[in-house]
Amino acid sequence: MTTPFYITTPIYYVNARPHLGHAYTTILADVATRFNTMRQAETFFLTGTDEHGDKILQAAEKEGLNPKQYVDKISALFRNLWPELNICNNHFIRTTDPSHMAIVQQVLSRIHASGDIYFSEYKGLYCFGCERFYTERELVDGKCPDHEVEPKVIKESNYFFKMSRYQDWLIEHIQQHPDFIRPERYRNEVLAFLKEPLEDLCISRPKSRISWGITLPFDKDYVTYVWFDALLNYISGLGYPDGKLFKTFWPAAQHIVAKDILKPHGIYWPIMLKAAGIPIYKHLNVHGYWNIDQSKMSKSLGNVVEPLQLKNVYGLDAFRFFLMRDMVFGLDSSFNEEALVQRINSDLANDLGNLFSRVLSMVRKYFKSVVPEPDADLVDTGWMELKSASMAAVNEFDEQMQAFAFHKGLLAIWDLISRMNKTIDTAAPWNLVKNGKHKAALKTVIYNLLEGLRIVSGLIYPIMPDTAQKMQRQLGLDPESRFYEIARLKHWGETLPGAGLPMFEPLFPRVENMPKSAAHSVNTAVPSSLPDIKPLITFDDFNKLDLRVATIVHAETIPKSKKLLKIEIDMGERRTIVSGILESYRPEDIVGMQVVVVANLKPAKLMGITSQGMLLAADAESGDSLVILDRNAAPGSCIN
Ligand code: MSP
């Protein structure tokens, strides 16, 4: 085991439904966690919800619910979304958890006792959206930069935390630990902010104004300022102070946030930890915004994109891939559905999907779906240098992912993929096959490509875990094994010669027509660039087709036919169908599959056998691809 790895996301406010921005940070944390599992680290991943404060209270009132009912409802939306996005958080913390509330009071008492909290009257500019005071110089054109409204002047007596006392210490800490805040631009931003004298932090709100919060342990008329409460989730979620999790994981703590909350995480939080005598976290990883038309995607600006809708339209792994590939960590990115479709088609369907189907169809065609034995002398020679290219890709990926440069990690994988596609073109296995002398070379190049695909399947695991497993299965490997461990990816030769490969299933279909927009704020225009499209039909025309679900119960070849298979189906009744898919499927591969049948096609005689219907199949580049169901349905079910 290498060192433990602890990662957190911000805990999200429950005044709005989760959107793509929240999903992005949480998927980042998931990818980072899975990547550390590849490095055999012991990992802990924490996310959750931030449930106290004025804006939560107002949102509850607006819905006619009491605050507890309201926070339970919205918190559940976040909690239930994460498994849908294949996010493997170890714990989900809520600031209304009694154990968290007790720890907030404990830390406050400790800092109060050490003399770092004092009571005073204060008059300042307060943004109700952010629930905090602003200094003049933090405003943009006199307005809060996040909510774009002018803050109100308010005057009240409150408790203050002596942050100023720790300013010099913090500057020194940041200077001595260059990767404490990363990327560097955000480190510089914090250092620039610290050039001005740091004001003390108002850490209480009078109950006469806000009652929904954690009561100060030393004054029952006040509740704790939401940020002082929320930041402590990172330790309460580990069972601070005595929990085993805290002891194991806190020394390795890393946070991920977007730049909107750089100041509380880069300034308040380390100072709070220092004042409470708790070791400081290791890294603060700061990313940019997903924008829509130059503005940050946010609930208050009403331009949000729903993650689940994107998942449902494009598939989860494609969605996760797009988020990781299209945002350079640290910089802003503009969300746009056309770019998502373009990525799916070029990187996933064309580069990876085609490579996978080309290699597997060659194994099927030249070696009857059995992994060939490579020639040891040929493995890393001439155009076959896939072994060294794969090892270089694993090393580059490892380095970039550790530095939180996820898009560069993906580039390393795609370089390998394009190298493999080029290898196929240069080696031209279809020529090698014609000349018996080249049998050893043919076997070796195909074996190398299978090994390369095994390594690609491991490298994509943190970003696209389901696709990684799907590739493994089709490569005849065990998808339940820890196939993605870096140590195993650095080892060449795990694919076993002689192993039989199961039936081929394509990885990523091309998105030909952009579906109706998944994101309400995105342009929904459907490009119509399909060549040779047939004349339009009415719904009544379409309705004349009787499409049914059928299970294939038996299949056999037909003497003297190179293309046809005789297939017995169960679609509520038994039927025989003759189908021209023999070049793409072996009879034993398709038994048990649930397919789509045109049930009311006039019977026709083929090779002397009456065919009672037709199976639907796509004209894929690698041959025919049967239309199959992605979950079981009763034979005979209608398709409409
Ligand atoms: N509750 C505080 C955080 C407390 S952590 C101790 C909060 N909540 S939030 O719901 O507003 O979440 C902000 C975070 O959501 C951002 O830092 C980022 O992680 C994510 N994002 C929200 N909108 C986003 C974008 N448009 N783009 C990228 N990330 C975004 O602040």
| Domain 539-626 part of CATH 3.20.20.30 | no
pLDDT digits (tens, 9 = 90+) for 380-438: 777 778 999 999 999 999 999 999 999 999 999 999 999 999 999 998 998 888 877 78
| Residue minimizing CA distance to atom 30 of ligand 1 | 21
Closest C-alpha residue for ligand 1 atom 21? 21
- Please state, in angstroms and rounded to a whole number, the distance separating the CA atoms of residues 435 and 221: 89
Best substitution site from 11, 12, 265, 285 to test ligand 1's pocket, by max atoms within 8 Å of Cβ? 12
Q: Whose CA is nearest to atom 22 of ligand 1?
A: 21
CA distance linking residue 144 with residue 619, whole number of Å = 56
Give me ligand 1 centre to Cα 175, in Å.
27
Three-state SS for 47?
strand
- As a whole number of angstroms, the distance between CA 562 and CA 33 comes to 50
Any idea what DSSP says for residue 122? E
Identify the CATH homologous superfamily for domain 336-489: Isoleucyl-tRNA Synthetase; Domain 1 (1.10.730.10)
Model pLDDT for residues 340-359, shown as the tens digit of each residue: 999 999 999 999 999 999 99
Q: How far is the CA of 319 from the centre of ligand 1 (A)?
A: 19
From 24-28, 195-199, 487-491, 636-640, the region with the lowest mean pLDDT? 636-640
Question: How large is the average pLDDT for residues 516-536?
Answer: 45
Partner residues linked to 152 by β-bridges: 126
If one residue of 130, 224, 261, 289 were mutated to test the ligand 1 pocket, choosing by the most ligand atoms within 8 A of its CB, it would be: 261
Within 13 Å of residue 58, how many CA atoms lie on the same side as its CB? 11
pLDDT over threshold 60, residue 532: no
Question: Which residue in 405, 409, 145, 148 sits closest to 287, CA to CA?
Answer: 405
Going from N- to C-terminal start, the domains of the chain cover 5-287, 336-489, 539-626
Contacts of 380 (CB under 8 A, 6+ apart): 386, 387, 388
Query: How many of the other CB atoms lie within 10 Å of CB of 281?
Result: 21
Question: Which pLDDT value is given to residue 379?
Answer: 77
- Structure tokens, 537: 């039909």
Q: How many CB atoms lie under 10 A from the CB of residue 500?
A: 11
Instruction: Give the residue with greater pLDDT, 277 vs 563.
Output: 277
Q: Which residues are catalytic?
A: 19, 22, 127, 130, 144, 147, 296, 299
What is the rounded distance in angstroms from the CA atom of residue 461 to the CA atom of residue 203?
Answer: 43
Pocket test for ligand 1, best of 9, 260, 298 (most atoms within 8 A of CB): 260
Q: Record the tokens describing residue 526, joined without a space.
A: 């459907």
Q: How far is Cα 525 from Cα 522, in angstroms, rounded to an integer? A: 9
- Largest separation between any pair of C-alpha atoms in the chain: 97
> What is the mean predicted confidence (pLDDT) over 497-521?
80
CA of 26 to the centre of ligand 1 (A): 10
Q: What is the mean pLDDT of the chain?
A: 92
Residue with tokens 């330790």, as numbered in its chain: 235
| Side chain identity at residue 607, one-letter code | M
Over the range 68-106, which residues count as b (16 or more CB within 10 Å of their CB) and which as e? eebbeebbeebbebbeebbbebbebbbbbbeebbebbbe
DSSP state of 44: E
C-alpha atoms less than 13 angstroms from C-alpha of 160 in its C-beta half-sphere: 17
Strand blocks (E) in 537-629: 547-557, 565-570, 574-579, 594-598, 604-606, 609-611, 614-615, 617-620, 623-626
Q: Please give all residues whose beta carbon lies within 6 A of any atom in ligand 1, as ranges.
A: 10-13, 21-22, 24-25, 50, 230-231, 233, 257-258, 260-261, 289-290, 296-298
% of residues, the chain, pLDDT over 70: 95
The span from the CA of 33 to the CA of 276, in Å, is: 28
Render pLDDT for 265-293 as a digit per residue (tens, 0 to 9).
999 999 999 999 999 999 999 999 999 87
Which residue CA neighbors atom 17 of ligand 1 most closely?
258
Q: Which atom of ligand 1 is found nearest the CA of 25?
A: 19
Residues 6 or more apart whose Cβ sits within 8 Å of residue 570: 550, 551, 553, 635
| pLDDT of res. 438 | 85
Q: Are 10 and 257 in contact (CB under 8 A)?
A: yes
| Residue reference for tokens 């039909």 | 537
Question: Which pLDDT value is given to residue 561?
Answer: 86
Please tell me the distance from the alpha carbon of residue 522 to that of residue 539, in angstroms, as a whole number. 28
Distances, alpha carbon 362 to alpha carbons 2, 134, 443, 504, 544, in Å: 40, 65, 11, 11, 39
CA distance 119 to 212: 21
**Among 25, 519, 13, 28, which residue's Cα sits nearest to residue 292?**
519
Euclidean distance between CA atoms 161 and 108, whole angstroms:
10
What per-residue confidence (pLDDT) applies to 529?
Answer: 42
φ, ψ of residue 350 to 5 degrees: the values are -75, -60
Return the pLDDT at 133. 85
Mean pLDDT value across residues 185-193: 97
Average pLDDT over residues 197-226: 95
CA 71 – ligand 1 centroid, Å: 17
**Tokens linked to 307:** 């993650």
Distance CA 394, CA 399 (A): 9
| Percentage of residues in the chain having pLDDT higher than 90 | 75
**For 75-130, how does the pLDDT look when each residue is reduced to its tens digit (9 = 90+)?**
999 999 999 999 999 999 999 999 999 999 999 999 999 999 999 998 989 998 88
- CATH 3.40.50.620 given to domain 5-287: yes
Quote the ligand 1 centre to 296 CA distance (angstroms): 11
Question: From ligand 1's centre to the CA of 22, what distance in Å?
Answer: 6
